[in-house]
Structure 1
Amino acid sequence: MNARRINAAAGVVLAAQKQRNTATGIAAALEAAGLLQSPESAAERAQLQDDITGACLARYEEEQENLRLRARVAELEAQAAELKADRADRQDDLAGALGHSKGTEWPDLISVAAAATASEARPVEDPHDSPLHHTYALGRDLPEVTPAAERLLSGDELKRALRGHLFGGGAS
């Protein structure tokens, strides 16, 4: 005899008697409590009950995750709607700037903007305005240098040049 099983059965019988159950009601209460089963079948029943509890818990967690995901989807849909409205406002602003009515489609606005941009004359860049332009010249770019002796004028040539320059006339 197992004292624990007997005490458990006594507790179930007492509770069933307080509810004024018949003998069949008491037997049903014992069966529900798992006391009319063999220890093996009672262990199996307890294992099945644990499996059912685990499955219910897993389902509850999945439902919570689904709720969280639904809330995130709603949040993203609200952001998408806000971005779509902002895009429509910008599209209408661009349409107004190009002289078209609100609601003009993007492809039409793009072709109008491209045509307006293409028609504008673009200035050709001056090569000296380039950030790569340097004002210094390399040796190969400078004029050829002549010896100093060749550049000096003789005394008579110098006098004639000065007279011509000073008196605006010919040399004498």
Structure 2
Amino acid sequence: MNTKSLNSLADLICRAQEQDRTPMGIAFAVDAAGRHMTPEVAAELARLRSRVSELEAERHGTNEALSDAAEALRVGRDRMAELEAERTRPAPMFDPVAGLERLRQEIAAAPVEDPHDSPLHHAYTTGRDLPEVSRG
């Protein structure tokens, strides 16, 4: 119970005592004011309060999941908009002559390898490179 409720009940009991009521008379005054709770009603109230707390916690979890889903949808929508913009953007024109010209310039700028200096060069001298032939 909260303080405001307790103060109100205490005030009700004090007024009943001022009228020289017996303990039973005070109990009747409390019941008449609707302030009396049976053990069953108190248990039901406790159960309902517990259920309300569970539902509030569930709502909190649902709200967080909904917020995450909404954020994922926004990210997906933004990505779709980017892809749509790329799709509608005109492709750059390819100029094959300019590509060939560039390739020619790169080939011309490359150093020329002397075939005699190459690591793959072989003189193929016959005397010592070939196995001996037996004549017989």
TM-score bracket, normalised by the shorter chain, equals: 0.3 to 0.5
- Structure of higher CA gyration radius: 1
Name the TM-score, length of structure 2 as normaliser: 0.45
Name the TM-score, length of structure 1 as normaliser: 0.37
